[in-house]
Amino acid sequence: MSASSDGTLFQYPTGPFNQILGFVSGGAIQPIDWLGDPEWAMFSLVLLSAWQAYGFQMIVYLAGLQGIPDELYDAAKIDGANAFRRFWHVTMPGLRPTHVFVLVITTIQAFKLYTQVAILTQGGPKSSTETVVHYMVRAGFEEQKMGYASAVSVILFVIVLIIALIQRQLLRRFDV
């Protein structure tokens, strides 16, 4: 789904989220200005971004699960491990590299969040949804501070590089 169509979900006061909230509460909860209230705007963008990333993350986790050898589950079953113990002692350790990868990719994506902010809130209300990339674009193109925006982009690059190097070290530890 695109960010503009996602905005209709949060529309005040008649958007689907407010309609569901009103129906479930029997009208006791007043409609929320999801994107116009500084206390709710960032939560709304985080919720939207999490939903958009969910599909990719599930594909990665599916690949991680398929990479765990069936023999490990069979051996655990023979040793008398119940379903919970097999999950905790076979599945979870087998997914450690996947957890690291998903965590790092999600963190990098959070730093790069621009489209949703630009379309839905433009960094408002009261700069509550301003992200690094939105700030950089606004400084460079709206305020015509190209040098400053370039410096911000270099700092963002260094942060993302550090995160990528940490991921590399963590994945090496798991021999992946």
For residue 91, being part of any structural domain is answered with yes
Please state, as a whole number, how many other Cβ atoms lie within 10 Å of the Cβ of residue 175: 6
Cα 147 to chain centroid, rounded: 30
Separation of alpha carbons 77 and 129, rounded Å: 49
For residue 6, being part of any structural domain is answered with no
For residue 3, being part of any structural domain is answered with no
- Picking from 162, 118, 166, 121, the residue whose alpha carbon sits closest to that of residue 142 is 118
**CATH code where residue 84 lies:** 1.10.3720.10
pTM here? 0.77
For residue 14, being part of any structural domain is answered with no
For residue 52, being part of any structural domain is answered with yes
The pLDDT score that the predictor gives to residue 176 is: 53
For residue 158, being part of any structural domain is answered with yes
For residue 23, being part of any structural domain is answered with no
What tens-digit pLDDT sequence spans the chain (176 residues)? 566 777 888 889 889 999 999 999 998 999 999 999 999 999 999 999 888 899 999 999 999 999 999 999 999 999 999 999 999 999 999 999 999 899 988 988 888 889 889 999 999 899 999 999 999 999 999 999 999 999 999 999 999 899 889 888 888 886 65
Q: Check: CB of residue 34 under 8 Å from CB of residue 15.
A: yes
Q: Check: CB of residue 64 under 8 Å from CB of residue 98.
A: yes
For residue 28, being part of any structural domain is answered with no
The pLDDT score that the predictor gives to residue 102 is: 93
Residues 6+ apart with CB under 8 A from 93: none
Number of folded domains in the chain? 1
Domain that holds residue 157: 35-173
Strand ranges inside the chain, DSSP E:
none
